[in-house]
Amino acid sequence: MSSYPSLRLRRLRKSKEIRDILSETHINLNKLIMPIFIDDNLKSKEEIKSMPGIYRYSENELIDLVKLYEDIGIKSVLLFGIPKVKDNLGSEAYNPNGIVQRSIRKIKEETNLVVMADLCMCEYTDHGHCGIVRDGTVDNDKTLGYYQKIAKTYAESGVDVVAPSGMMDGQVLAIREILDKEGFNDIMIMAYSAKYASSLYGPFRDAAYSAPSFGDRKTYQMNFSNSREAIREIEEDILEGADIVMVKPALFYLDIVKEARRLFDLPLAAYSVSAEYSMLINGSKQRYFDLDSIIKESIMSIFRAGADLVISYFTEYIAKNREIFIS
């Protein structure tokens, strides 16, 4: 086996052109998903203070926004709704005419975008937890019936992908059963399969007004010290009928992305979450690094680890500056 001086790996990096043609990983805009916050309380868009450059949008701005996304090459969006009224049952989450349901219908009528809708209850409950609370804890099995109600209204509205994020045991099976029962066999489920109880969700909770009013979510979101458990969660979701599985967050959990890619053949998504976005934005403002370079490196790292799809708040920025990011 040859080695230095006959082996010189620097030959592979001698110019930008050489580096480009030998790049193993690329950013593909088709594989990026843009989250959208639709707020039923707004008349015009409102910047999220903890996520500079990301907004809550009013319903009347939605179509112009998604048509812009389609024009600049974005293929898919992930919807999050903020209702006018919250209650202990999160009833607006399964309102057939709720903010997400109306948004799904409008987007499908006006564009060819792939519409994914997050399915959870934390934005809709007055206690901020992801399901039905009984005696101070989330009742897993009671919650599943409510998830079915939400999934049914999403399907009736024309959604392409239902994305359950609540981390209830059996949520994928419950949703698959109701979709199939109601004749929506072709609607996909993108399961938040390995969703960790992470400190990186703070800006999202600000964006969606979804912080829990008591306790935390550690009894249903995953322990961040565990990796084998994540594989069990992913495997269970596959057995229950998931079409796409997900690891969330992305950057702190690339080991999980890589192991999931090694073990499973399903499409694999990774969610680059709100604090990952905010850290990079704020770091660039402090001139710790160049924003374009750090976005490219971070997104590339997620694809390199094995993700097929990346949910990123930078998707719009990448699409608008595709000459920088897309090779």
Token pair listed for 138: 């989330």
241, 259 contact by CB (below 8 A): no
Q: At residue 183, what is the residue type?
A: G
CB atoms near residue 45 (< 10 Å): 15
DSSP 266-300: S-EEEEE-HHHHHHHHHHHHTTSS-HHHHHHHHHH
Comparing C-alpha atoms, which of 243, 203, 217 is closest to residue 80?
203
Annotated catalytic residue, options 31, 75, 152, 248? 248
Residue 31 annotated as catalytic: no
Radius of gyration of the chain (CA): 20
Contact 245, 217 (CB under 8 A): no
**What gap in Å lies between CA 176 and CA 6, rounded to an integer?**
58
Would you call 181 a catalytic residue per the annotation?
Answer: no
Catalytic site residue from 75, 152, 195, 296: 195
Indicate which residues carry an active-site annotation.
195, 248
